[in-house]
C-alpha cells in the first residue's frame, strides 16, 4: 500500500462505474489512478477537480494507472463549490492544467503555487475575476516559459510569440501576435503585483475577456495546446 498527496486535476468517466483521476502529486508529479464505484459514494465531503487530497493506492504491474483504495480531502474547498464564480474558475483551471501539465514531472514550486492558489481562491471575498487572471498568467513562470517583464515600457505592446513586451513601432515583429498597449499594461501588472494589490486593476468585461483570450493564445502558441471552448464560454458568461 502506498500513500501520496496531490491535486485532482481531472476526473474522467471510465466504463460505467469507474473513473480515472489525473493527480498532480507533491512527490511524483503527474499520476493517473482508477477508482472503484464506492470511492465517491463513501466520501461525505465530495471529491472534485482542484481538490487537494491524500490517496492510498496499490501499484499495478501491468499498467501505469494505479488503483485507489482510499481518498481523503485535506484542503476544505466547500467555499469554492458553493460559489458559482469560484466553481467555474476551478473548472477552467482544471481544463488549462490538464492540457499543460498532464506529463509534468515533480515540480515543488508548481505544486505549491497551485495549492496556495486553491486555498486563496477558497477564502477570497472580492476580486475573484482578477485573481483568476493572476493565476493564469503567473502559471507560465512555473512551467518553464516565463514572460519577460523586464522588457516592459510605457505604451509597449505584449508580444505573444516572443513572451515579451515590445515597441509597437518595431516592424521586426509585424508577423507576431500582438496586444494593444492597455492590455499590455494590465498583463505586466498581473505578472508583477502582489495579490493584495489586485483590487487596483480596474477592468470591465471586454478587458477581462481580452486578457483571458491572450493568455490562452499564449499557451496555445508555446505549448501547442487547444482548450475546451465550452468551459471557457461558461466562465465568460458567469462574469458577464
- CATH 2.40.50.140 in the chain, residues? 2-73
Buried b / exposed e along 30-43 (16+ C-beta atoms within 10 A):
bbebbbeeebeeee
Q: Would you state the pLDDT for residue 173?
A: 77
| Counts for the chain of helices (H) and strands (E), in that order | 8, 7
Question: Which residue stretches of the chain have pLDDT < 50?
Answer: 44-45
What does the pLDDT read at residue 194?
Answer: 95
C-alpha distances in Å from residue 22, one per residue of 28, 55, 212? 12, 12, 24
pLDDT at site 231: 63
> Measured between alpha carbons, how far is 127 from 20 in angstroms, rounded to an integer?
33
pTM of the model: 0.90
Q: Is 118 left (phi over 0), alpha (psi -120 to 50) or beta?
A: alpha
Residue range(s) in the chain whose domain bears CATH number 1.20.1440.120: 78-238
Predicted local distance difference test score (pLDDT) of residue 44: 47
Query: Residue 163 has which C-alpha cell?
Result: 513572451
| CATH code for the part of the protein at 78-238 | 1.20.1440.120
CATH superfamily of 2-73: Nucleic acid-binding proteins (2.40.50.140)
Amino acid at each position: 500500500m502506498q500513500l501520496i498527496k496531490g491535486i485532482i486535476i481531472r476526473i474522467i468517466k471510465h466504463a460505467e462505474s469507474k473513473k480515472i483521476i489525473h493527480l498532480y502529486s507533491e512527490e511524483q508529479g503527474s499520476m493517473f489512478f482508477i477508482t472503484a464505484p464506492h470511492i465517491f459514494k463513501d466520501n461525505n465531503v465530495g471529491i472534485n477537480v482542484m481538490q487537494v487530497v491524500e490517496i492510498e493506492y496499490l501499484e499495478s504491474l501491468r499498467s501505469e494507472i494505479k488503483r485507489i483504495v482510499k481518498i481523503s480531502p485535506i484542503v476544505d474547498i466547500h467555499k469554492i463549490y458553493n460559489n458559482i464564480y469560484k466553481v467555474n474558475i476551478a473548472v477552467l483551471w482544471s481544463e488549462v492544467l490538464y492540457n499543460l501539465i498532464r506529463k509534468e514531472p515533480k515540480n515543488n514550486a508548481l505544486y505549491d503555487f497551485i495549492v496556495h492558489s486553491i486555498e486563496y481562491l477558497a477564502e477570497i471575498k472580492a476580486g475573484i475575476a482578477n485573481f483568476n487572471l493572476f493565476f493564469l498568467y503567473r502559471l507560465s513562470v512555473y512551467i518553464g516559459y516565463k514572460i519577460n517583464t523586464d522588457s516592459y515600457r510605457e505604451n509597449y505592446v505584449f508580444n505573444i510569440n516572443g513572451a515579451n513586451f515590445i515597441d509597437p513601432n518595431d516592424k521586426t515583429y509585424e508577423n507576431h501576435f500582438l496586444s494593444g498597449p492597455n492590455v499590455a499594461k494590465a498583463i505586466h501588472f498581473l505578472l508583477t503585483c502582489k495579490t493584495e494589490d489586485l483590487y487596483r486593476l480596474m477592468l470591465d468585461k471586454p478587458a477581462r475577456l481580452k486578457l483571458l483570450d491572450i493568455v490562452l493564445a499564449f499557451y496555445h502558441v508555446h505549448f501547442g495546446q487547444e482548450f475546451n471552448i465550452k468551459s471557457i464560454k461558461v466562465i465568460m458568461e458567469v462574469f458577464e
